[in-house]
Amino acid sequence: MRYLPHTENDISVMLDAVKKETLEDLFTVIPENCKRKDLLALPGALTEWELDSLMKTRAGANASPTEYTVFLGAGSYNHFIPETVSYLIGRSEFATSYTPYQPEVSQGTLQAIYEYQTFAAMLTGMDLSNASLYDGATALAEACLMALRISKKNTIAISTLIHPHYRHVVNTYLEPTDCEVIEIPMLESGCTDFSVISGERELAAVVVQSPNFFGCIENIEELSEICRKGDSLLISSFTEPLAYGLFKTPGEQGADIVCGEGQSLGIPVSFGGPGLGIFTTRSKYVRSMPGRLVGKTKDKNGRRGFVLTLATREQHIRRGRATSNICTNSSLCALAATIYMSSLGKTGFRNLAKINYDKSEYLKKKLTDKGYDIPFAAPAFNEFVVKCPDGFRHTYDELLKKHIVAGLPLAKYYPELTEHYLFCVTETSSKESMDAFLKEIP
């Protein structure tokens, strides 16, 4: 096997050195009744070329965006990714290193994370960021746990327009605690109805997502006022950070913790993972924050350098009393996002966001012209809900045969929204493909 460098001679010399006769003898410490009797029943080893051909078949059995027109978003977005991103994150000095415990040989990873933290803070309008978490959903769960720690209260109010999977993850994480999760309903506009929590003082945190699951822009400023009066923390989640190229950031509208999914920033959809859990907050909460942090410092000779810092919050020091059990970040994805954000720059980021907005507005308008109902009137980014005529499910199935995925049926998540579909349009959807879709529907 090409990954195993030992010759028969090496093995025999090494066995001599450790005073064993066979490789099996290395395992005499394992009691016989714990040993495997039979061989591993795995397929015979494949050559590189056999593996290529098998994997090509598997990959070919999925709908790829070059063969299909896919109007799907809902937490996973298809954007163009500059070649530089995959080229640079593929450099093995980044890819094959581990958590930068030894800063003298990890300055590359450390500086890149420091730059990522700076960009993530800018993107969300917050003071500081951690080195990233697994994904948007787990970042939200960690934010809720952090709010419970800070506030010492035990109720969390969460908007019904948070991504349903995120709500599900939060419930899973909080199940063993005595925390109560209450859901805030929506208004007819497609935004959250904050009036129901106005005057409430027992909430550890209020959780909102903007753009929300329907793509609608929430009024975080208004919510911030309610939270301030109720002495609750405001957690602002997101799934599409490109929106902050155009719209006000959660930070400038008063959020205390901003967390969400950074997949849009140069990371392929890859069947939902890996993603990038972005997590930012205000300076005063830094010591309650979960996850790794990189800080700037100096070496013995006064040269600038970077290290992992504030580790006393973490599991390897505090064990059972740590702020979370997180041991790593989503480092290579954070690097991809940093490269992506630098490639776009301030100017490119804003322009790209506007193109996304304009394209989705185009499809929205054309659908309205055709008589389709857009039930939620609030301004939206990239995504919007369409109420389709009764029996559209049949059209949807017919469209699949024509290589068009006409959005996400919402009834599974919101049973009252039968025949409602969530459409997503990004810069990757051409006018031509949208027009072709429009021609196919009644």
Partner 1 sequence: MNEGKKSIAESISREPLLWDRGRVGRSGFSLPKRDVEDTPINEALLGQGPDFPDVSEVDVVRHFTKLSQLNFGVDTGMYPLGSCTMKYNPKINEKQAKLEGFTGAHPLLPCELSQGALEVMAELEEFLLEITGMDAVTLQPAAGAHGELTGMLIMHAYHKFHGSHRTKIIIPDTAHGTNPASAALCGFKTVPVTSGPDGILGADTVAEIMDEETAGIMITNPNTLGLFEEHILKIAEAVHEKGGLVYGDGANMNAIMGIADVGALGIDILHLNLHKTFSTPHGGGGPGSGPVCVMKNLASFLPVPRIITHNGEFALSEDFPLSIGRIHGFYGNFSVMVKALSYILSMGSDLKKASQLAVLNANYIKEKLKDVLHLPFDRPCMHECVFTDRLQQKNKISTLDMAKRLIDYGYHPPTIYFPLVVSGAIMIEPTETESKEEIDNFVEAFKAIAEEAAHSPDLLRQAPTAGRISRLDETEAARHPCLTG
| 308-347 binders of partner 1 (CB under 8 A) | 309-312, 314-322, 324-333, 335, 338-339, 341-347
Question: Would strands 383-387 and 180-184 be described as parallel, antiparallel, or unpaired?
Answer: unpaired
Interacting residues with partner 1 between 94 and 113 (CB under 8 A): 94-109, 111-113
Q: Select 114 or 230, whichever has its Cβ closest to partner 1.
A: 114
Interacting residues with partner 1 between 131 and 150 (CB under 8 A): 131-132, 134-138, 145
Instruction: Compute the C-alpha angle 378/236/254, nearest 5°.
Output: 90
DSSP letter assigned to residue 286: G
Q: Select 174 or 230, whichever has its Cβ closest to partner 1.
A: 174
Q: Is 375 near partner 1 (CB under 8 A)? A: no
Q: Select 244 or 372, whichever has its Cβ closest to partner 1.
A: 244
Q: Is 230 near partner 1 (CB under 8 A)? A: no
> Which are the contacts of 78, defined by CB distance < 8 A and separation ≥ 6?
65, 70, 72, 269, 426, 428
- In the complex, what is the shortest distance from the CB of residue 200 to partner 1, in angstroms, rounded to a whole number? 26
**Contact between residue 161 and residue 188 where contact means Cβ atoms under 8 Å apart:** no
Q: Select 230 or 407, whichever has its Cβ closest to partner 1.
A: 407
Q: Can you tell me which of 91, 228, 229, 284 binds partner 1, judged by CB under 8 A?
A: 91
Q: Can you tell me which of 304, 391, 402, 411 binds partner 1, judged by CB under 8 A?
A: 304
- In the complex, what is the shortest distance from the CB of residue 225 to partner 1, in angstroms, rounded to a whole number? 16
Length, in residues, of the chain: 442
Q: Select 51 or 182, whichever has its Cβ closest to partner 1.
A: 51
Residue range at the interface with partner 1 (CB under 8 A); choices 128-136, 151-159, 183-191, 386-394: 128-136
Which among 381, 414, 423, 378 is positioned nearest to 219, based on CA atoms?
378
Please provide residue 235's backbone torsions phi and psi, each rounded to the nearest 5 degrees. Answer: -100, 120
Q: Is 236 near partner 1 (CB under 8 A)? A: no
Q: Is 118 near partner 1 (CB under 8 A)? A: yes
Q: Is 299 near partner 1 (CB under 8 A)? A: yes
Q: Pull the structure tokens for residue 288.
A: 């309650």
Q: Select 319 or 439, whichever has its Cβ closest to partner 1.
A: 319
Q: Select 230 or 420, whichever has its Cβ closest to partner 1.
A: 420
- Which residue type occupies 382? N
Q: Can you tell me which of 228, 229, 284, 354 binds partner 1, judged by CB under 8 A?
A: 354
Which among 144, 152, 147 is positioned nearest to 174, based on CA atoms?
144
Q: Radius of gyration (Cα) for the chain, nearest Å?
A: 25
Q: Select 232 or 331, whichever has its Cβ closest to partner 1.
A: 331
Number of residues that bind partner 1 (CB under 8 A): 206
Q: Select 184 or 326, whichever has its Cβ closest to partner 1.
A: 326
Question: In sequence order, what are the beta bridge partners of 158?
Answer: 183, 207
Interacting residues with partner 1 between 178 and 217 (CB under 8 A): 217
- Measured distance CA(118)–CA(103) in Å, rounded: 19
Q: Can you tell me which of 149, 153, 350, 393 binds partner 1, judged by CB under 8 A?
A: 350
DSSP letter assigned to residue 331: H
Q: Is 401 near partner 1 (CB under 8 A)? A: no
Instruction: Compute the C-alpha angle 191/421/143, nearest 5°.
Output: 45
- Cα-Cα end-to-end distance for the chain: 58
- In the complex, what is the shortest distance from the CB of residue 31 to partner 1, in angstroms, rounded to a whole number? 6
Which among 428, 261, 274 is positioned nearest to 360, based on CA atoms?
428
Q: Pull the structure tokens for residue 229.
A: 């009066």
- In the complex, what is the shortest distance from the CB of residue 329 to partner 1, in angstroms, rounded to a whole number? 5
Which among 141, 139, 137, 138 is positioned nearest to 74, based on CA atoms?
137
Q: Give the x-and-dash track for 7-46 against partner 1 (CB under 8 A).
A: ---xx-xxx-xxxx--xx-xxxxxx-xxxxx-xxxxxxxx
Q: Is 420 near partner 1 (CB under 8 A)? A: no
Mapped onto helix, strand or coil, the DSSP state of residue 236 is: strand
Which among 289, 278, 250, 282 is positioned nearest to 125, based on CA atoms?
250
Q: Can you tell me which of 119, 214, 421, 437 binds partner 1, judged by CB under 8 A?
A: 119
Q: Is 90 near partner 1 (CB under 8 A)? A: yes
Q: Select 232 or 426, whichever has its Cβ closest to partner 1.
A: 426
Interacting residues with partner 1 between 240 and 269 (CB under 8 A): 244-249, 252, 261, 268-269
Which among 27, 26, 25, 22 is positioned nearest to 11, based on CA atoms?
22
- Measured distance CA(425)–CA(240) in Å, rounded: 12
State the burial class of residue 254 (Cβ atoms within 10 Å of its Cβ: 0-12, 13-18, 19+).
middle
Interacting residues with partner 1 between 45 and 74 (CB under 8 A): 45-46, 48, 51-52, 54-66, 68, 70, 72, 74
